[in-house]
Structure 1
Amino acid sequence: MFIGTIFINIIIPILILLLVGAGLQRKFAFNLKAISNLITYCLMPAAVFINLYQTEIDVQILLEIIGYLVAFSLIIIVVTTVLSKLLKLERGEAAIFKNSISLINSGNYGIPVSQLLFHANPLGISIQIIVMVFQNILTYTYGLYNLISATKSGLEILKSLLKMPVIHAMLLGGLLNWLQIPIPSFLWTPISHLAGAFLAIALVLLGAQLAQIELKTIVNRTIVTSSIGRLIIGPSVALLLIFIFGIDGVVAQSLFIASSFPTSRNSSTLALEYDVHPDLAAQTVLFSTVLSAITVTFVVYLSTVLFV
């Protein structure tokens, strides 16, 4: 598959939906919190449930994926800590910098990309879902710790995680899959419709969110370095670990691609909620998302050369 073909078939559809979302937001000023809740509490859980219910994942492969994700995250955390010290960032700015590289947009960017890329192979999508769940856990532990370690207890973080519908959907989908319990059509049909709506609405929402970010001072040392860390260093570390772990095939391709996505929108949301350089966090999300159109295209192409 040529780079141009990947860009046209995978990235362009995503960019179109992002532009649609940005344009609609500029014109109508949607209540983005309400749309975000619709995705978080309804559409994403439906998509996660269906993919995990339909896909068989070998226990050994699952353990291999979890081991890889733990190693990948630890290395990235160490790298970001070293880089923040080299850049001599003050505490709040360093927290945003470390989160911007460690936290990946695996939800409303990663899953749609995987759905487009692995539409004929549910395993690829299911792996991305596992990555997304792991990233959510990382966000509300390490990411939150970076911002408010002195004010948030471990119990409160655990409660926040347990309230996430995507966790419930993942557990239920995996359990019903394992027990091979059939789902009646009157339940399966509405769940399928909700899951089918996720891709488009998630990307439209992301575009609408990006449209609200101010462009001023978007190119500075911290933003550029964090984008390089997220879009170049991240995939490089992933590729090294994939070779070390001896992972191949669709699993290797999925994990490599999952490492290339831009900075998580949640990093900006948390920064805004706790008032820790929210403008810097938002501008980093925008800058890395724009650049990802180029870098993700290259990583997808490289994954087809190395692992397919």
Structure 2
Amino acid sequence: MTHLLFIFIDIILPIFILIAIGIIMQRIFQLDLYTLAKINIYFLSPALIFIKLYESSFSLSLFLTVILFSFGFVVILYVISMATAKLCKLNDRMKLSFSNSVMFYNSGNYGIPVNDLVFRQDPFAMSIQIAVMAFQNTLTFSYGVVALKSVHGGKLKAVLGYFKMPLFYAMFIGILFNVLHIPMPNFILTPISYISNALIAMALLTVGAQIAHINITFTYIPLYLTIFYRLLVGPVIALVGLLMLGMDGIIAQALLISTAMPTSVNSAIIAQEYNNEPEFASQAVIATTLFSSFTLTLVIFVAMHIF
């Protein structure tokens, strides 16, 4: 009960305050949602990816271990979500949006505070979460964008479109500068830090603006399935995988907890960017975030007692 209260007050409540501000501003000022999505994808997200990778302290072996586990985990979620989408006879646009809502989870502006709360600023645990965040952001803005673009155009064009985005270069340069210990002058690092700090507020404001005129209903079957797969099935799959691999200690705890995060805000942002079921994507973010306050508490309890 104490963990649930901490999670609600320190993480859930601030998130919903920012979303509420977005709803209010959209209803008053009629914000341009397309412009908001552009700002998030092309301005704020690259700064966050670069600064986290540049400043994080991690070993290459740890980074690769986390990436490989995350990759296998996401592949399983992809297979399950796509099979479910076919059984439910969802159209191509909804199929992609549903799959993205299950595969892409909020490892950054939700996962990092949770990691900090659970492990009390343990640098090793935080480096694991940073690696998960790097993988998730890369996947979201590579496969996620390519898949959505391929609905509207050729896949080759979609792949080339990804390499035109700054996210790829922010990730590459961030890792390169970290590994090679290349110092960044303060007059460059300071503005990048300021920009990255704005992402959480801006992303959640954008989600609020997106859902301002949406009537959220829990009678929508794909939404129920998203909540079930993202918050319950996902952590169970991760737990089985960690036990089979014989992983233990902080790395197992941090990885398991990281898989219990709600649907990524970025999945709603790219859905808005490419006009691919943006209402469903926003509802998935809100619903999974709300219910994660309960499911995440259980996952934290299991992680701490099993590992």
Give the direction of change, closer, same or farther, for the CA distance of 1:301–1:30 in structure 2 (3 Å limit). farther
Structure 2 partner of 1:205: 206
Code of the aligned partner of 1:200: A
What residue is the counterpart of 2:100 in the other structure? 99
Aligned match of 2:225? 225
Q: 2:299 corresponds to which letter in structure 1?
A: V
Describe the shift of the 1:118–1:288 C-alpha distance in structure 2 as closer, same or farther (beyond 3 A). same
The amino acid that maps onto 1:18 is I
C-alpha distance in 2 between matches for 1:151 and 1:254: 38
The alpha carbon displacement at 1:224 in A equals: 0.9
Which amino acid letter does the alignment assign opposite residue 192 of structure 1? S
Distance in 2, matches of 1:237 and 1:108, equals 23
Deviation at 1:150, TM superposition (A): 6.8
1:15-62 per-residue CA deviation (whole Å, 9 max, x = no partner) reads 222222222322222233333333333333223222222222212112
| Matched residue type, 2:156 | L
Deviation at residue 228 of structure 1 after TM alignment: 0.8
Aligned twin of 1:7? 8
| 2:198 counterpart SS class | helix
Change (3 A) 1:265 1:180: closer
8 A contact 1:127–1:251 mirrored in 2: yes
Q: 1:128 to 1:45 in 2, by over 3 A?
A: farther
Looking at structure 1, the residues matched to 77 and 175 of structure 2 have their Cα atoms a distance apart, in angstroms, of: 29
**Where does the alignment leave 5 or more consecutive residues of structure 1 unmatched?**
none
Q: State whether residues 102 and 230 of structure 1, in contact with CA within 8 Å, keep that contact through their aligned partners in structure 2.
A: yes
- Cα deviation, residue 70, structure 1: 1.8
What is the aligned partner in structure 2 of residue 51 from structure 1?
52
Query: Quick one: distance in 1 between partners of 2:114 and 2:99?
Result: 24
Distance 1:178 1:102, change over 3 A: closer
**Deviation per residue, 1:193-230 (Å, 9 max, x gap):** 22333333333333333324333x44222321222111
User: Closer, same or farther in 2 for the Cα pair 1:303/1:74, shift >3 Å?
Assistant: same
Q: How many residues align?
A: 306
Q: Which residue does 2:236 correspond to in 1?
A: 236
What is the aligned-residue identity percentage? 39
Pair 1:78 & 2:79 matched: yes
Give the alignment's TM-score, normalised by structure 2: 0.80
1:157 aligned onto 2:126: no
Relative distance call for 1:118 and 1:11 in structure 2 (3 A) is farther
Q: Deviations over 1:75-101 (max 9, x none)?
A: 112222333344454555444433332
Q: Secondary structure at the match of 2:205?
A: helix
Local SS of the residue matching 1:2 = helix
Moved more, 219-228 or 288-297: 288-297
- What is the alpha-carbon distance in structure 2 between the residues aligned to residue 106 and residue 128 of structure 1? 7
Q: What residue is the counterpart of 1:64 in the other structure?
A: 65
Cα distance in 1, alignment partners of residues 107 and 270 from structure 2: 16
Provide the residue aligned with 1:188 in structure 2. Answer: 189
| Cα distance between partner residues in 1 of 2:23 and 2:191 | 28
Question: What stretches of structure 2 of length at least 5 have no aligned partner?
Answer: none
Aligned partners of 1:117 and 1:165: how far apart in 2?
Answer: 32
Partner of residue 257, structure 2: 257
Q: Judge which range, 129-138 or 239-248, deviates more.
A: 129-138
User: Quick one: distance in 1 between partners of 2:223 and 2:158?
Assistant: 28
CA distance in 1, matches of 2:220, 2:106: 22
Opposite residue 221 of structure 2, the aligned amino acid is R
1:149-172 per-position Cα deviation (integer Å, ceiling 9, x unaligned)? 576444323222223323222221
Alignment deviations for residues 216-246 of structure 1 (CA, whole Å, 9 cap, x no partner):
x442223212221112111221222233334
- For the residues of structure 2 that align with 1:144 and 1:198, how far apart are their CA atoms? 19
Alignment-derived partner of residue 291 in structure 2: 291
